[in-house]
C-alpha cells in the first residue's frame, strides 16, 4: 500500500478519532509531510520503536502503540505460558503515561496480566521488575535522550533484556500481520480498573531495587572518609530525580545538590535543547551551580535514567566533561581494582563493551586477567552476552558503551544510571580520600596504559531521502573502501553483514576499518535517529601525537563522506 492510500485510510477510517483526522487534514497540502508520515511503519532498531509524536504510521501515537502491543500480545499468547504477564513503565515525555495505559489496556483485554508502575520510573527498574515478577515481557515508554518531539516503545523479554533475534523478528512479523485496527480492543483506551489482572507497582518494588543497587557498593568506608564531597545532580526533567537522590542518600552522601530548574519531570525539557547528557549544553545550569559551591562532581541523567554524563573538577578549580569512554575507563578500572583488592575478582570474570567503544578499557581489563567480549552497538546485545556468558559459567563484572551507558551487577539487564551514579560518586569519594580528583586518576591511567582518544561524527539527514542517501554512502564505502587515511594504511575492513568474529553476532550494517598502527574508525546508520554515525579511535604513548593523529583522521574521513554523498 502506498503512502497516499494509507493517509486517506486514516482520514476516512472509523477506527481513528476526530483529533487524529483533524491533524492529518491540516497537512493535506503538504505532500512531503504526508509521505514522511506514511511511507513506512516504525520499526525496531537498537532502541526499539521510536519516532516523532504525531498522526501516521511512521509516527508515535496511540494507534502505533496499540498495534505494537497487540502484536506483542499475540506473540506472547503463542508461547503457551500458563500465566503470561507484562510489566509496563514510562518516563516523563509527552504522552508517555497515556501510551503506557494504552498498552496496558490492549494487553489486559487480551487476557494478559499487567504490572503497571503507578508513576514514572527509570528504564533500568523496568528491566529489574521483569525478572523480579517473573514476567514474560516488559514495555517501557521512552525516547531516551531524543528531543522533546519524540517518544518511543521498548520491549523486554523475560531475561530482563531488550528483545533480540529471533524474538525481535518474530514479534515484528506479528505486528505486521495486524492490518486492521478494528481487531484491537481498547484502541482508544478503556477503564483499566475494571480488569482483575491489573497490578500496580510502587514503593515495594522501589525498595527491593534500591537495596540491590546499594549491594554493589565497593568501598563504603571511602564515602565516610570523604564526607565533604560535594555532588551536583540534574535529572534533566526526567525520571532519575527520586531514585538517584535516594540511593546516594542511603549509601551516605550528605552533600548532594539538585539543580532546581531541572528537578521536576517535564516532557518539554524547557531548560535544554536536548535532554542528553552527551551534550555539554545540558550541563550549563549544573555547571554554574557547581562553580558557585566548588563541587567535586556533576552528574546528569537522561529522561529515562539509563544514561549518565559526568563532569569532574580539575586541580585548578576548572571542570572537565568526561566522554562516555573516559567514564568507562575510570569506572572499569575502579571496579576491577576494588574487586582484586578485596579478593573478589574471579578467574572467570568478564566485561563487555561494543565494537565502537574505545579500546583502553579492554587493555585495562586484560591487565587484570579479565576477559573482554565485544558486541554490536546497543545495550540489548550486552544484555544478551551477559546471559549467554553467565550460562557458560562466567562471572560478569562490568559492561558499557561509549554513549554513556554503564552496568555493574547482574540483576538489571540494561544500562543503569542509578547504579552508575552511585558507583561514580563512590569512586570520586575513594580518590578524594587519597587526595586525588577523578581527573588525576584519569591522567594516571593514561600515563600507564597510553593516551587513547575517541571522537564521534554524526551526519544528520532526515526523511525518506535522507535514509536513501545514508544507504548510498554505506554502499559506496562497502564496495570501494579506502586503502589509506592520514598517511596510515588500512590493514583490515570488517563488514558486519558478513564478518564472523570470536563470538556469534547478528548481521548488522556496520563497517569497521582498522589501521596498521591499531587506530580505527567505524560507521553505521543510527537505529533510533535519522543520522549516520562515524566513530574514530586512536592511541599513542604521547598525548600530542594521539591528538594530532585524531585531527588528521577526522579531516580525511570527512573527505570520504563528502565524496560518497
Torsion angles phi and psi, residue 190, rounded to 5: -155, 170
Confidence band of 45 (pLDDT split at 50, 70, 90): low
Say what percent of the chain tops pLDDT 90.
86
Supply 378's cell numbers: 546497543
Angle made by CA atoms 111, 115, 120, in degrees to the nearest 5: 135
The answer to whether 152 and 142 have CB atoms below 8 angstroms apart is yes
Q: Residue 323 gets which letter from DSSP?
A: P
Q: What is the pLDDT of residue 315?
A: 79
Strand ranges of the sheet holding 371-375, from the earlier edge strand across to the other edge: 371-375, 349-354, 395-401, 405-407
Question: Which class is domain 453-564?
Answer: alpha beta
Residue 57 in 3-state DSSP?
coil
Provide the pLDDT for residue 466: 81
Of 25, 26, 31, give the one whose Cα is nearest residue 11: 25
Question: Using omega within 30 degrees of 0 as the cis cutoff, is the peptide bond preceding 166 cis?
Answer: yes
From the list 144, 403, 421, 425, the catalytic residue is: 144
Q: Sign of torsion, CA 17 22 24 28?
A: positive
User: Where residue 468 falls among pLDDT bands split at 50, 70, 90?
Assistant: confident
pLDDT exceeds 70 at position 248:
yes
CB atoms within 10 A of CB 467: 14
Domain 209-449 has CATH 3.40.190.10: no
pLDDT for position 44: 65
Domain span(s) for CATH 3.30.310.50 in the chain: 453-564
**pLDDT computed for residue 528 by the predictor:** 66
Condensed to tens digits (0 to 9), the pLDDT of residues 209-244 reads 999 999 999 999 999 999 999 999 999 999 999 999
Q: What is the mean pLDDT of residues 45-50?
A: 70
- For residues 287 and 432, give the distance between their C-alpha atoms in angstroms, rounded to a whole number: 20
Identify which of 260, 202, 263 has the alpha carbon closest to the alpha carbon of residue 238: 263
The residue to which cell 515481557 is assigned: 137
Asked about 144 being catalytic, the answer comes back as yes
- Statement: residue 46 has pLDDT above 60: no
For cell 583488592, name the residue: 341
Average pLDDT, rounded, for the chain: 94
Instruction: Indicate the pTM of the whole model.
Output: 0.94
CB 236 within 8 A of CB 282: yes
What span, in angstroms and rounded, lies between the C-alpha atoms of 93 and 304? 9
- Residue-wise pLDDT for 327-385, tens only, equals 999 999 999 999 999 999 999 999 999 999 999 999 999 999 999 999 999 899 999 99
pLDDT (mean) for 419-423: 98
210: phi then psi, degrees, rounded to nearest 5: -60, -40
What is the Cα–Cα distance from 538 to 519, expressed in whole angstroms?
A: 4
**CA dihedral sign, ordered 238, 437, 379, 499:** positive
Mapped onto helix, strand or coil, the DSSP state of residue 106 is helix
pLDDT tens digits along 487-506: 899 999 999 999 988 888 88
Instruction: Give residue 290's pLDDT.
Output: 97
C-alpha distance across the termini of the chain, in Å: 30
| Confidence (pLDDT) at 563 | 63
The percent of residues in the chain predicted with pLDDT above 70, rounded, is 98
Q: Which of 310, 339, 294, 151 is nearest to 244 (CA)?
A: 310
The residue assigned the cell 585548578 is 316
How do residues 85-111 score in pLDDT, each as one tens digit? 999 999 999 999 999 999 999 999 999
Measured distance CA(454)–CA(521) in Å, rounded: 9
Q: Sign (positive/negative) of CA torsion 56, 61, 63, 68? A: positive
pLDDT at 467: 84
pLDDT at residue 422, as a whole number: 98
Ranges in the chain annotated CATH 3.40.120.10: 40-201, 209-449
- pLDDT score at 486: 87
Gap between the Cα atoms of 514 and 509, Å rounded: 17
Q: Higher pLDDT residue, 226 or 526?
A: 226
Confidence of residue 564 (pLDDT cuts 50, 70, 90): low
> Is pLDDT of 278 > 60?
yes
CATH entry, 40-201, from 3.40.120.10, 2.30.30.100, 3.40.50.10420, 1.10.287.130? 3.40.120.10
Amino acid at each position: 500500500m502506498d503512502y497516499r492510500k494509507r493517509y486517506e485510510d486514516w482520514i476516512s477510517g472509523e477506527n481513528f478519532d476526530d483529533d487524529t483526522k483533524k491533524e492529518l487534514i491540516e497537512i493535506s497540502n503538504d505532500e512531503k509531510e504526508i509521505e514522511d508520515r506514511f511511507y513506512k511503519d516504525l520499526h525496531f532498531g537498537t532502541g526499539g520503536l521510536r519516532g516523532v509524536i504525531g498522526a501516521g504510521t511512521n509516527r508515535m501515537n496511540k494507534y502505533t502503540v496499540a498495534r505494537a502491543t497487540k502484536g506483542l500480545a499475540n506473540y506472547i499468547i503463542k508461547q503457551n505460558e500458563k500465566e503470561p504477564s507484562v510489566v509496563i513503565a514510562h518516563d516523563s515525555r509527552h504522552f508517555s503515561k497515556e501510551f503506557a495505559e494504552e498498552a496496558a489496556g490492549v494487553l489486559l483485554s487480551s487476557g494478559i496480566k499487567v504490572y503497571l508502575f503507578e508513576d514514572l520510573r527509570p528504564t533500568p527498574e523496568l528491566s529489574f521488575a521483569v525478572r523480579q515478577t517473573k514476567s514474560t515481557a516488559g514495555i517501557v515508554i521512552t525516547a531516551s535522550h531524543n528531543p522533546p518531539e519524540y517518544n518511543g516503545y521498548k520491549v523486554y523479554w523475560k531475561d530482563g533484556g531488550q528483545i533480540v533475534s529471533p524474538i525481535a523478528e518474530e514479534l515484528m512479523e506479528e505486528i505486521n500481520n495486524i492490518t486492521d485496527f478494528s481487531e484491537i480492543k481498547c484502541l482508544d483506551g478503556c477503564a483499566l480498573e475494571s480488569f482483575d489482572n491489573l497490578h500496580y507497582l510502587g514503593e515495594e518494588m522501589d525498595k527491593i531495587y534500591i537495596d540491590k543497587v546499594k549491594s554493589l557498593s565497593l568501598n563504603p568506608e571511602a564515602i565516610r572518609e570523604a564526607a565533604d564531597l560535594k555532588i551536583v545532580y540534574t535529572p534533566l526533567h526526567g525520571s532519575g530525580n527520586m531514585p538517584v537522590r535516594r540511593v546516594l542518600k542511603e549509601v551516605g552522601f550528605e552533600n548532594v545538590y539538585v539543580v532546581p530548574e531541572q528537578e521536576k519531570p517535564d516532557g518539554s525539557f524547557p531548560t535544554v535543547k536536548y535532554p542528553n547528557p552527551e551534550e555539554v549544553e545540558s550541563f550549563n545550569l549544573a555547571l554554574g551551580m557547581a562553580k558557585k559551591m566548588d563541587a567535586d562532581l556533576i552528574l546528569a541523567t537522561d529522561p529515562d535514567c539509563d544514561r549518565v554524563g559526568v563532569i569532574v573538577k580539575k586541580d585548578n578549580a576548572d571542570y572537565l566533561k568526561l566522554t562516555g569512554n573516559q567514564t568507562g575507563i575510570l569506572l572499569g578500572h575502579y571496579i576491577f581494582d576494588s574487586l582484586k583488592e578485596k579478593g573478589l575478582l574471579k578467574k572467570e570474570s568478564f566485561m563487555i563493551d561494543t565494537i565502537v567503544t574505545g579500546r583502553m578499557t579492554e587493555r585495562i581489563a586484560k591487565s587484570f586477567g579479565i576477559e573482554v567480549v565485544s558486541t554490536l552497538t546497543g545495550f540489548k546485545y550486552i544484555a544478551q552476552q551477559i546471559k549467554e556468558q553467565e550460562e557458560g559459567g562466567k562471572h560478569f563484572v562490568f559492561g558499557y558503551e561509549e554513549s554513556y551507558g554503564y552496568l555493574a551487577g547482574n540483576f538489571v539487564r540494561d544500562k543503569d544510571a542509578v547504579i552508575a551514579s552511585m558507583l561514580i560518586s563512590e569512586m570520586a569519594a575513594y580518590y578524594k580520600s587519597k587526595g586525588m580528583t577523578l581527573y588525576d586518576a584519569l591522567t594516571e591511567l593514561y600515563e600507564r596504559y597510553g593516551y587513547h582518544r575517541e571522537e564521534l561524527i554524526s551526519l544528520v539527514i532526515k526523511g525518506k531521502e535522507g535514509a536513501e542517501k545514508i544507504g548510498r554512502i554505506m554502499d559506496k564505502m562497502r564496495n570501494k573502501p579506502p586503502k589509506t587515511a592520514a598517511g596510515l594504511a588500512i590493514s583490515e575492513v570488517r563488514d558486519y553483514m558478513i564478518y564472523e568474529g570470536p563470538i556469534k553476532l547478528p548481521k548488522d550494517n556496520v563497517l569497521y576499518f582498522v589501521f596498521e598502527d591499531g587506530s580505527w574508525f567505524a560507521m553505521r546508520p543510527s537505529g533510533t535517529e535519522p543520522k549516520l554515525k562515524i566513530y574514530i579511535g586512536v592511541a599513542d604513548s604521547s598525548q600530542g601525537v594521539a591528538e594530532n593523529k585524531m585531527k588528521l583522521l577526522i579531516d580525511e574521513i570527512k573527505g570520504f563522506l563528502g565524496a560518497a554523498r
